[in-house]
Structure 1
Amino acid sequence: MYLLAADIGGTNGRFGLMEYDPSSYKSGNINYLSSKQITLKCANYPNMASMLKDCCAQLQVTPDYACLAIAGPIENGEAFMTNLNWRFTSKELCAAVGFKGLHLINDFAAHAFAVPFQKDDEFFVLHKGKTNDHCPILIMGPGTGFGMAQLVPNDGKWKVISTEGGHASFAPTNDKELDIKRVLLKQQKHVSVENILSGNGLVNLYKALATLAGVTPKNYSPADVSGKGMANEDPICRDAVLTFCDVLGEVAGDKALSTGARAGIVITGGITAKLLDMIPQSNFIERYKNKGPLVDYVSDISIRVVLNDKAALVGSAAWLIHNTPELQA
């Protein structure tokens, strides 16, 4: 039979087709990788059903079951994608396309669920530590926003607990960061972690640092800030990137303490993997361990960065297989 895994954001929908044999579930020899992948532009479609129909036409097959990882809230089988103004239910999509079953999950839940099913070489180890297999794994990361979830062991399986940790308040820990927050508070009432640790957060950092330096900020994109910072072409961009890495370390330590993530921290999203060369030049590890009397607690927790940019498709496929009884024959 055929399965469809998808990672659908505000701009693109990425789809992966799998050939699946249910007998592989009992043997434990499951391949979560897609045999064929396509990417479609969301703006080319009026709704989710039309995009799925075109996807199936291009793949030349209507898969039996599907799982869509959606960048947006999902409640009782109904999803709403704010940027596209798309609202749909799993039942409606099954009827429209012809699936036997379809799951809708949050996109960051897919990133979280992918972690146990990825290989060691798909991670970069930032900090070695101990692993307590009875405790949660914390999955977090900056991308378009800042996502955060917990992966909790549950009777030999994994349970994903989605959170909105990115909307927690940004907590400065030095004079420079206090000044950055003061600049941002003149523009908005609340400064969140996501306002710093995201693509737009990089731009926010650059503009705030330029303002503090008495320089008129240029109209840079997130890619401009990171690229010019890493290449050392613009000192303010470089300062923004290093500050970003510092805050990421601080937040990782804070979230580890808040969630008891003694099975490890996994950082996902496209930004961190691209900044791996900058992290050793920053105070990431120092800030991560900057937890007063609990420095030993966080020091024992490992930190890994996901290198696979298709991790959400792996998580979507794994979620579908492990949460659909018909696929576990």
Structure 2
Amino acid sequence: MTDQQHSLPPQIAQPASFADGPRLLADIGGTNARFALETAPGRIELIDVLPCKDYPTLSAALRAYLASPNVVAAGIAGIRHAAVAIANPITGDLVRMTNHHWEFSVEAMRIECGFDTLLAVNDFTALACSLPHLSELQKVQVGGGVARKGSPIGLLGAGTGLGVSGLVPAGEGWTALLSEGGHVTFSPANETEVKILQFAWREYEHVSAERLLSGDGLELMYRALAHITGLPDEGLTAPDISRGALAGDCPLCTQVIDTFCGMLGTVAGNLAVTLGAQGGIYIGGGIVPRLGERFAQSPFRTRFEQKGRFVNYLAQVPTYVITAEYPAFLGVSAILSEKLSG
């Protein structure tokens, strides 16, 4: 399966194309803008990833995708319906990105691009909506626990920022939470984390969970732990830190990743008890899925359950890492389909 086509297996009959043509799907983060076309229910094709920094506006990136050789060669034109999942609160027509300089009016962009329908939703709301559609091959369980049907589900993921959402049962379906839980105040759980917080306070008046559980957070933690331990600070970037830990040749990088995973376990446990998420906690974002087995061996699950009198409660809640390559497309597709069928 390539980046250009995520479709049903050949032995399964292909679904009929949409009567009103392909639908544009987008997943916009602070670093990359991912685009795809859904040509029929469940058939997501022509996936492309564009660096946000290369385009002055979202509409410029969107138009560049539609004008790309693969899309043009497919003979696709006249897109009528589109939906954009974006790493940002959506509180009205005007969207200003938190982790990038893009801002836009949803209605103005709809008119500019000639769409009949343009939806903008929070990226973790879209990712939450994808969870019921994930196959067993698109997630990996970390630790024990068994999901209880009909119970709330929690979601968080670290990347450019820290996204948080969840699903609450609503009749025969689900309601996705419009959460900005990544911006809650960071709460240390041991002496090392207290020292990291004190180091972060030198730069920031308010230290949120996102301030540490993100790509920038890995770099901040690296600087903090170098200062605390006296190990040399080589100015590594977040990808360098992850690579150093995975290779096992950088003790400071290993400590950063272990500390990161422990902190994430605490936040995930907080989310589980807040939501009563006995349907499980799912971990997405750009950092954790790349850690692979290293994450399963980290302090994450121990810290997840480390809630005093609630340790037995949390031991029964399963935690999963989302391994699907482009899961937000599944969610934003479901949201658009519901809108168009309403």
* 1:135 partner amino acid: S
Matched, 1:101 2:117: yes
Cα distance in 2, alignment partners of residues 106 and 223 from structure 1: 25
Cα distance in 2, alignment partners of residues 145 and 86 from structure 1: 16
State how many pairs are aligned.
316
Aligned with residue 38 of structure 1, among 48, 59, 68: 48
Cα distance in 1, alignment partners of residues 30 and 199 from structure 2: 29
Matched, 1:16 2:26: no
1:224-239 to 2 correspondence within 5 Å?
Answer: 224-239=240-255
SS of residue matched to 2:244? helix
Question: 1:169, 1:192 within 8 Å by CA — same for their partners in 2?
Answer: yes
- Alpha-carbon distance, 1:106 to partner: 1.0
- Which string of whole-angstrom CA distances, capped at 9 and with x for unpartnered residues, describes residues 11-44 of structure 1? 3321111113xxxxxxxxx41x412122233344
Alpha-carbon spacing, 1:230–1:152, altered in 2? closer, same or farther (3 Å): same
- Alpha-carbon distance, 1:82 to partner: 4.6
Alpha-carbon spacing, 1:284–1:94, altered in 2? closer, same or farther (3 Å): closer
Question: 2:272, 2:281 within 8 Å by CA — same for their partners in 1?
Answer: yes
Aligned with residue 57 of structure 1, among 67, 71, 74: 67
Aligned with residue 67 of structure 1, among 61, 83, 106: 83
Aligned with residue 148 of structure 2, among 119, 129, 132: 132
Matched, 1:247 2:247: no
Aligned twin of 2:239: 223
- Which string of whole-angstrom CA distances, capped at 9 and with x for unpartnered residues, describes residues 238-295 of structure 1? 1111111111112211111112111110000121112232234332222111111111
Matched, 1:309 2:325: yes
SS of residue matched to 1:194? helix
- Alpha-carbon distance, 1:83 to partner: 5.1
Q: CA RMSD in A?
A: 1.8
Question: 1:143, 1:271 within 8 Å by CA — same for their partners in 2?
Answer: yes
- Alpha-carbon distance, 1:215 to partner: 3.2
Unaligned runs of 5+ in 2: 1-20
SS of residue matched to 2:267? helix
Matched, 1:81 2:97: yes
SS of residue matched to 1:153? strand
Question: 2:231, 2:252 within 8 Å by CA — same for their partners in 1?
Answer: no
Matched, 1:262 2:282: no
SS of residue matched to 1:278? helix
Cα distance in 2, alignment partners of residues 141 and 148 from structure 1: 7
1:146-165 to 2 correspondence within 5 Å?
Answer: 146-165=162-181
Alpha-carbon spacing, 1:276–1:38, altered in 2? closer, same or farther (3 Å): closer
* 2:202 partner amino acid: K
* 2:35 partner amino acid: F
| TM-score scaled by length of structure 2 | 0.87
